Amino acid sequence: MPKTVSRLATWLIPFFLILVVHSVHGATEPGISILGEEPPEGFDPLTGERIISNERCLTCHGDEQMKTDVRDDGSEVKIFVHSKQIRESVHGELNCNSCHITIDRVPHRKAPAVIVGCLDCHRETWEEVKDDPDGKHERLKVVNESIDSYMQSIHAQPNSLDQSRTNATCYDCHEAHNVGELGSIQRAEKRLKNPEACGKCHEQQLEDYRTSVHGVAVLEQKDSESAVCSDCHTTHEIDSPETDKAKLAITKNCGDCHEEAQRTYFDSYHGQVHRLGYTNTAKCHDCHGSHKVKGEDDPTSEIHANNRLENCRVCHEDANENFLTFWPHGDADDRENYPGLWFFKLFMQTLIFSVMAFFWVHVLLWLYREVMDRLQGKGFIEDLDKPDIVYFRRFPVVWRWIHGLFAISTMTLILTGTTLLFAHTGWAKAVVVFLGGTEMEGIIHRTAAVIWLGIFFVHLMIAVTNIIREGKDFKWFGSTSMLPNWKDWSDLKGMFRWFIGKGERPQFSHWTYWQKFDYWAPFWGAGVIGISGIMLFAPEKTALILPGWMFNIATLVHAEEALLAAIFLNSVHFFNVHFRPERFPMSTTIFTGAIPFEEFRHDHREEYERLAATGEINNYLVRKPSRRADLAASFITTVLIMAGLALLTLVLIGLVTSPN
Amino acid sequence: MQREKMMKKKMPYLLLGLAVLFPATAAAAPTGQALAFTCAGCHGTDGSSVGPSSPSIAGMDPEVFIDAMQGYKFDERNSTIMNRIAKGYNDEQIKSMAWFFAKQTLRLKPQKYDAEMAKLGAKLHDEYCEKCHEDGGKPGDAGTLAGQWMPYLHYTMEDFIDGRREYPRKMRRKVDAAIEAEGDRAMPALIHYYGSQH
């Protein structure tokens, strides 16, 4: 045993000695050494590279007496660097050759290539410091985001005339030695220099800008708060101004300063289309001019009274003088400047609020009453032992078709119209993309509008023909007439009494008061929406007879009335017809044309009694609709209800998220 | 048999000795310092020359040293015998010697000079040379002028002016300007100025 130990030790000791000697040998060489020589003073002990002090560089480059040098070809080159500026800049603590990495000898043995790569250094530095808890490098994160934006920009693309270089790089815009921290004097100075920096390449644009209100403020009055190039075009995410992305960004950026103008613009048709992400509409610079933007009092301004019509005619070729009275930034909330618009908005909103408030209270009370009645076993309850066999024919075929087409066209109009009204929402943008853009959406909206109005007039003709056919027998305020009468008023009061448990449910005639409301509402709607819609349909024709501000009024009332219809039909109408407990989940009568006899007797008791007394009731009794007809009606009704509820949801999302 | 056993027993110790010594033996190639000893014949002990036409290379900027050696090695720089000598060294050896000499203290010997000329030379140096040859031409990244042997400086400037040595364009501009300002006195004046420093 001791022998084994000693033999083991004999092998282990040398092994450990080797380890120790080698590790000691290694530990004595922390830096670079060549043939036993380590770098002398002034050279990096780890790499052996020369350490070039900034002072050494500034011996020549900081000499104010000699700011230029001459190249081999005889051309002059600026070599001066303001040493104080660079010390005070964000890069003040760096060595010159941290950025000027090609400089390894001073004095330069050959004319040096000025190669500076900002990107990698900022990216690598951010990678190193991004987890620092003190957060003092947060700005570097912004720099890196800017780099990412720049890399996607037109400036980072290869130059078409010289593909070995990009269109522009960091130091074309940033004064390399004078990059100030946020809030520093350099930043304010840099803003003032921004137009000149861009103008080095974009010369014509700079000349135009000099004449603009922005240019005069910045370049002559040294007002760093006024707009410089990057305020509109963005700093790093620069795109060709011909792209939609750039046009959208520019409009958005105008609004950063001109908030009110942008708000009112977005309320206009032009602004709504633009906000959906489409640029084939009037944008800020289309009317105001881009680089030459000037106030309306300046005779050379594009929005000066003398030049404005020409401006409109760029898009509206047949625009006449009446276009000049259009309010491109009309504000319905500004009573002082736009009293007409203000009044119409007040009127329409009062109408919407009062109608909706009344009917939503009506809905809630009705729901409460029916639920309470059902809990007590009262109300109309289907008798399962006596299935419906006999039905009452309530609607002839023509009315069923008219209602179906009317519902589909109304929903189409709501969908396509509210995308403009709620252009700020994501769903509106998605719908427009789905439909194929704003132009296609316009075609769909107008087609649906023609169908809608066509149906309305066809219905009117049929109704008038029916009245004429009946002649003297037609009772204007009879039970089958749609005209409101005193019974409707007493039914309404009776219903409210029933709601609160103070009376019996009224016995209704052929048409109830809420059905008459549903019927007459489209008359009002057709008037308001139809007339305003036709005006907006063909603006050049409208302007032949009406002043331009009528477009503002028309846009406003068209939208408000549509909103009322959208909310009313898809909530109140749906409840009255489909969702109240006696009918839930739906009534298919408008598609089958027939209502179960017992249900008719319950809902229209007075009419039933009148018909029963005269014996006319037999003329209306029909067989239960076939199973196939029943299924088809259920299917169509379900689809329309689901579509309506979806539209209601979208409209409510739009209203709740509306920035105004 | 007995001997074989003995050998077997001693083998670990032999291996131990070899292993311990190995790192030392591996580094036993000629050091920069050892190589530099051979320069002493002309350039003086540790590079401080005693001769009038061999320059002092103690304290010399290592990159200037490497430039010179590579220039000689590839016959790009005029020389008497340095082009032959330089060919005997590889890049690593040249760099090691460069670092060695850079760390040596330059010991200067007084030279005879004309005080008037040195004064003029100081003025010219300040105006035309100081930016590159900092601190009156003390050893630096543009070579060693201060205290350098005057005959060596004289021959070297002749090489530049007569086109035997690549003339840095900036240096040419400055030298031309100095000559334009002070004529034929310019070069001697500068050489006297550098010779006056020790």
Model confidence pLDDT, tens digit, residues A46-58: 999 999 999 999 9
- Measured between alpha carbons, how far is A576 from A499 in angstroms, rounded to an integer? 14
At the fourth CATH level, which superfamily is domain B115-196? Cytochrome c-like domain (1.10.760.10)
Q: Are residues A329 and A391 in the same domain?
A: no
Q: Is the pLDDT of residue A23 over 70?
A: no
Q: Which two tokens stand for residue A125?
A: 């530095």
Q: Are residues A332 and A390 in the same domain?
A: no
DSSP helix/strand/coil, A158: strand
B145: alpha, beta or left? (left if phi > 0; alpha if psi -120 to 50): alpha
Nearest-Cα distance to chain A for B154, in Å, is: 22
- Measured between alpha carbons, how far is A478 from A480 in angstroms, rounded to an integer? 6
- Please indicate whether, in this complex, the C-beta atoms of B102 and A40 are within 8 angstroms of each other: yes
Q: Are residues A455 and A328 in the same domain?
A: no
Q: Are residues A507 and A606 in the same domain?
A: yes
Which chain A residue has the Cα nearest residue B132?
A: A107
The closest CB to that of A35, out of B96, B141, B170, belongs to B96
- Please indicate whether, in this complex, the C-beta atoms of B100 and A60 are within 8 angstroms of each other: no
DSSP helix/strand/coil, A622: strand
Q: Are residues A546 and A406 in the same domain?
A: yes
Identify the residue among B22, B101, B170 best suited for mutation to test binding to A, counting A beta carbons within 10 A and taking the highest: B170
Amino acid at A189: E
Q: Are residues A335 and A442 in the same domain?
A: no
Do residues A557 and A564 make contact, with C-beta atoms less than 8 angstroms apart? no
Q: Are residues A322 and A407 in the same domain?
A: no
Which of A191, A256, A261, A201 has the alpha carbon at shortest distance from A229? A191
The reply to whether A403 falls in a domain is yes
Do residues A453 and A461 make contact, with C-beta atoms less than 8 angstroms apart? no
> Domain with A644 in it: what CATH number?
1.20.950.20
Instruction: Give residue A31's pLDDT band: very low, low, confident or very high (50, 70, 90).
Output: confident
Range of the domain at A89: 50-116
pLDDT on residue A385: 87
Instruction: Measure Cα distances from A528 to A113, A241, A270, A559, A571 in Å.
Output: 73, 40, 21, 10, 21
- Measured between alpha carbons, how far is B40 from B25 in angstroms, rounded to an integer? 27
pLDDT on residue A26: 47
**Chain position carrying tokens 């239960």:** A624
The reply to whether A273 falls in a domain is yes
Q: Is the pTM of the predicted complex or chain greater than 0.90? A: no
Backbone angles phi, psi at A596, to 5 degrees: -50, 135
Backbone angles phi, psi at A280, to 5 degrees: -85, 50
Q: What is the architecture of the domain spanning B32-102? A: Orthogonal Bundle (1.10)
Nearest-Cα distance to chain A for B19, in Å, is: 6
**Residue range A287-310: mean pLDDT, rounded:** 93
Hey, which residues does A158 pair with through a beta bridge? A166
User: How big is the CA angle at A568 (ends A608 and A329), to the nearest 5 degrees?
Assistant: 155
**Residue range A455-480: mean pLDDT, rounded:** 91
Nearest-Cα distance to chain B for A42, in Å, is: 10
DSSP B47: G
| Residue-wise pLDDT tens digits, A498-521 | 999 999 999 999 999 999 999 999
A41-55, A108-122, A153-167, A407-421: which range is least confident on average?
Answer: A108-122
Q: Are residues A271 and A397 in the same domain?
A: no
Do residues A425 and A433 make contact, with C-beta atoms less than 8 angstroms apart? no
**Structural domain count, chain A:** 3
The closest CB to that of A34, out of B96, B132, B142, belongs to B96
**Residue ranges for chain B with pLDDT beneath 70:** 1-28
The closest CB to that of B23, out of A10, A22, A105, belongs to A22
pLDDT on residue A181: 74
A135-149, A408-422, A601-615: which range is least confident on average?
Answer: A135-149
Do residues A463 and A520 make contact, with C-beta atoms less than 8 angstroms apart? no
The reply to whether A245 falls in a domain is no
pLDDT on residue A14: 55
- Please indicate whether, in this complex, the C-beta atoms of A14 and B31 are within 8 angstroms of each other: no
pLDDT on residue A427: 97
| Residue-wise pLDDT tens digits, A404-428 | 999 999 999 999 999 999 999 999 9
Q: Which two tokens stand for residue A191?
A: 């803003």
The reply to whether A59 falls in a domain is yes
pLDDT on residue A133: 85
Q: Is the pLDDT of residue A524 over 60?
A: yes
pLDDT on residue A1: 46
Q: Is the pLDDT of residue A111 over 90?
A: no
Q: State what percent of residues in chain A have pLDDT above 70.
A: 95
Domain boundaries, chain B: 32-102, 115-196
CATH topology identical between B32-102 and B115-196: yes
| Residue-wise pLDDT tens digits, A532-550 | 999 999 999 999 999 999 9
Q: Are residues A398 and A503 in the same domain?
A: yes
Q: Are residues A390 and A331 in the same domain?
A: no
- Measured between alpha carbons, how far is A411 from A651 in angstroms, rounded to an integer? 12
pLDDT on residue A17: 53
- Please indicate whether, in this complex, the C-beta atoms of A72 and B169 are within 8 angstroms of each other: yes
Mean predicted lDDT score pLDDT of chain A: 91
Q: Are residues A325 and A400 in the same domain?
A: no
The reply to whether A206 falls in a domain is no
pLDDT on residue A63: 92
Residue after which a domain boundary falls, among A98, A116, A134: A116
Q: Are residues A321 and A455 in the same domain?
A: no
- Measured between alpha carbons, how far is A598 from A595 in angstroms, rounded to an integer? 8
| Residue-wise pLDDT tens digits, A355-396 | 999 999 999 999 999 999 999 988 888 888 888 899 999 999
- Please report, for chain B, how many H helices and E strands are present, in that order: 11, 0
Nearest-Cα distance to chain B for A161, in Å, is: 33
Contacts of B31 in chain A (CB under 8 A): 35-37
Write out the DSSP string of A37-76: B---TTB-TTT--B---HHHHHHHHT-TT--EEE-TTS-E
